[in-house]
Chain A
């Protein structure tokens, strides 16, 4: 019975709890046990079984009183350790924040708790969400639960939301929060054979989320199904007056409006996404995706997004530039690590603290960001990148005249072994080549599992929609999900 519960997703748990099939406490206990048994994945930085139990008991109590349980009622989730959680260590997977206990709760996490969810723990990630393989965490790599058929090499869960992806696909959490700056929800979702959606920029409040690149960061859910994502995104999203970039719009009932019938919809296929270095398996899955969407009633149209090639390099100017400034607050004065070498002054303390506290990839990006903003280089790099960003957004705007949503691969390859790319930052960056354009344009985008490679590794397809049209993205995702019939699960080895 208990082990069965961990196979359930958000909707099944919520409906089971509210229907009395099992209690929220039983669910929380089952997942707490699964978490405790999965230390080998290193998916969690800290576990919070008591938080999960307390939330579950509150839901069970409400049910006993005949009260509404909330759209996430009784669902324990994993929380990416980029969300500040009151009283629970929040590190962004960096040594510099080790031991930091926020005195506040992020808007997104507090929305989830208000919707009846509980927390299993804080999920590992790439340090400050900088990475695509979960190898930059101070607290160690996350292992994907997936392995290539017949091998036992540790595989990357993707990044930066690698702990989130690993925990959901290993069924030690039914769902998890992620954040996506340049693909950090979609790429790990694709690697792990789960769904993940990055909503329109501004849908989810950034208040209380450790910032990486403010103009790109967006929170979103990672879960087993499109429907679970719709439910959880509904709980996370909403206007927040504390975030000046928050969208002042009502949150639609995405769950209720799910509809896989795509009659009358046009799906764009961007020709520039046929890139060198893309696996044949990925290209095949893309062809398959077109066929499925056609089958769902959609018209497939070729479109052009001419500046696609420049999106990734532009991203690698803009994101590090913002990060170099956002990370300036980690200085050893008010919280986190302080390294004060004997006899050193204030500025030495900063330099020592940041040298000791930041990992290599973080340093690399802070240095790049510092450089591109510095006197004499600002226009050539930063201004040019922001102009190209405008062109990338304009490409999408023009595409919407021809189509309602876009279908593309999520990643150019399936997962790779941990360590295989870690000394080659540029190749690592290419992981996000298909994900970054939608991030630059602030558009909603989702990855849905569509099959496995010949080696048994999951693949994802990406859907990109118009601003505010999460529904269109979810519906097209649902059409793929229904036809893909993705049921593969990683074999338990942990």
Chain B
């Protein structure tokens, strides 16, 4: 139980949250027809006769959608049901041509599983907080209604109609907006790792139905819940919970009762309101779709699904800290997004390869480079940078020179800047632009001798115990070498000379 509380007039209340996340399955064609799923096409151009529910049209399921749902289930360590069925959920609406949605109620493809959300001290999320997942089922998306194109008509676009969704139903295991936010983030991350959903919330690829109820602290019975539909960002999910919990507490404390109902979130006003239009039809008359036979999955299919699973976020993070020796912070940052770890791992392999070392030997250097140095350079350059030049090969070459002491950290940045602007080769840049460190002991010794000779008084003071002056000698030497001295070598030689 988190410590999130609502202070009511009659005492403290806690909130109980369950989420139904609709995630669009990444597939080329729709769940039951061959029409394209690409986002943003002209209205009704990606609609087959099947999607438009013409008389006599029949659904035939897309194997890829089934495969992605199974892989997703495996990623949350859920029960995979070898036997599942498609049911019809019957209701009338203009975005639903068949008059029913093909979904799964009685026998979903994925049963119980769970995921662990990321701990967050400030937000009150403890270590190892597990959120249960009730089920994942596969279903059709609906079409889209446009209300602002005509004074007396709504317009119907069926492009989305029939696109495959996974409905991922959590248990009511979350007790604060922060936990719900962390849950959505973690789920999104897993889906993106698995590749079963692009997680693009702005385009509606992921949206959540937010179930909220409140109860007095200490009560064990659940209160009556409301369901706020189609909330499409983490921030809004959290806002809905806060607002809805406060609304419910105020309502109850005013002597009212919470009605189990469907609500809609208005982000502009940051409030939810009742969706009376969908009120009346809560009798969906589910029954097995007689156009479809039971779905029975072969062991081979399941084995192939499992074999195709990538390393998942928790495992990857653990490996980054345990095997690669990264800090927990770096591990978390690097594993948050698919693109981030993909870039990191490519660069890590390239750098280790160039240096002929194990990945663990260069991981910290590559991590720092990936998380702060490289993005810093890129940002500073702005439009001048050509991202296409940010290849792993170029960056690995820079990191290799740095690791070998051939260039300093500052030089590395300068070289990378030129790489981003021009695409030139880092080794060549180092040579021609004079961006190389002096590591030749003879040459450095000569400079040091000169520095010491012209500062005999300081040498005296140092020798009589003023240790702090060591930095002064380093600075003078580096200055004389125009910053190109290898600091490690400079330090070593100075120590030797000063005794």
Contact = CB atoms under 8 A, between A and B. Distances in A.
Interface of A: 83-84, 90, 92, 97, 100, 102-104, 106, 206-211, 213-215, 241-245, 321-322, 324-325, 327-329, 331, 333-335, 346-347, 350, 370, 373-375, 378, 382
Nearest to A347: B92
Q: Tell me which of B92, B97, B156, B286 has the highest count of chain A C-beta atoms within 10 A of its own C-beta.
A: B92
Nearest to A240: B58
Interface string B53-71: 1111111110000000000
B55 A210 contact: yes
Given A242-B60, A244-B61, A244-B293, A325 B55 contact: no
B344 interface: no
Nearest to A211: B56
B94 A333 contact: yes
B106 to A, nearest CB: 10
Nearest to B282: A375
Contacts of A331: 92, 99
B291 A328 contact: no
A195 B91 CA distance: 41
Is the contact region of chain B dominated by helix, strand, or loop, or is it mixed? Answer: loop
B183 interface: no
A329 B158 CA distance: 14
A346 B156 CA distance: 12
Interface string B361-375: 000000000000000
Given A102-B54, A331-B92, 6 more contacts: A90-B55, A208-B56, A215-B290, A325-B88, A334-B52, A382-B287
Nearest to A327: B99
Given A214-B291, A370-B285, A244 B59 contact: yes
Interface in B145-186: 154, 156
A70 to B, nearest CB: 24
A458 to B, nearest CB: 31
A335 B156 CA distance: 14
Contacts of A333: 94, 97, 156
Interface residues on B, range: 20 to 34
B55 A92 contact: yes
A241 B56 contact: no
A100 B52 CA distance: 14
Contacts of B154: 346
A83 B55 CA distance: 9
Interface in B277-295: 283, 285-287, 290-293
A328 B286 CA distance: 14
Q: Tell me which of B60, B97, B100 has the highest count of chain A C-beta atoms within 10 A of its own C-beta.
A: B60
Contacts of B222: none
A206 B56 CA distance: 7
A104 B56 CA distance: 10
B2 interface: no
Contacts, number: 99
Contacts of B99: 325, 327-329, 331
A103 B57 CA distance: 12
A199 B49 CA distance: 27
Interface in B360-418: none
B55 A244 contact: no
A32 B90 CA distance: 44
B2 to A, nearest CB: 35
Interface of B: 49, 52-61, 88, 90, 92-94, 97-100, 154, 156, 283, 285-287, 290-293
A242 B58 contact: yes
Nearest to A91: B55
A244 B97 contact: no
A106 B56 contact: yes
26 contacts: A84-B54, A90-B55, A102-B56, A103-B49, A106-B56, A206-B58, A208-B56, A210-B55, A210-B56, A241-B60, A243-B58, A243-B60, A245-B292, A328-B92, A328-B100, A329-B53, A329-B97, A329-B98, A331-B92, A333-B97, A333-B156, A334-B53, A334-B97, A370-B285, A374-B285, A375-B285
B230 to A, nearest CB: 19
B287 A378 contact: yes
B240 to A, nearest CB: 27
Contact of B90 (A97, A106, A328, A334): A328
B56 A325 contact: no
A83 B49 CA distance: 15
Contacts of A378: 285-287
A97 B49 CA distance: 16
Nearest to B34: A242
Contacts of A375: 283, 285
Contacts of B61: 244
Contacts of A334: 52-54, 97
Contacts of B59: 244
A207 B283 contact: no
Contacts of A245: 291-293
Nearest to B98: A329
B292 A244 contact: yes
A446 to B, nearest CB: 24
Q: Tell me which of A211, A321, A370 has the highest count of chain B C-beta atoms within 10 A of its own C-beta.
A: A211
Closest 10 pairs between A and B when the two form their complex, measured CB to CB: A328-B99, A373-B285, A214-B290, A215-B290, A208-B56, A329-B53, A210-B55, A375-B283, A214-B291, A244-B60
A18 B492 CA distance: 105
A247 to B, nearest CB: 11
A375 B89 CA distance: 12
Nearest to A343: B152
Given A242-B60, A244-B60, A325-B100, A373 B90 contact: yes
A86 to B, nearest CB: 11
A214 B292 CA distance: 9
B94 A346 contact: yes
A297 to B, nearest CB: 38
Contact of B56 (A84, A213, A328, A350): A84
B85 to A, nearest CB: 12
A342 to B, nearest CB: 12
Contact of B290 (A207, A322, A370): A322
Nearest to A107: B56
Contacts of B94: 333, 346
B88 A97 contact: no
A104 B54 contact: yes
A328 B55 contact: no
B391 to A, nearest CB: 45
Contacts of A347: 92
A389 to B, nearest CB: 11
Contact of B55 (A213, A243, A321, A329): A329
Contacts of B54: 84, 102-104, 334-335
A334 B54 CA distance: 8
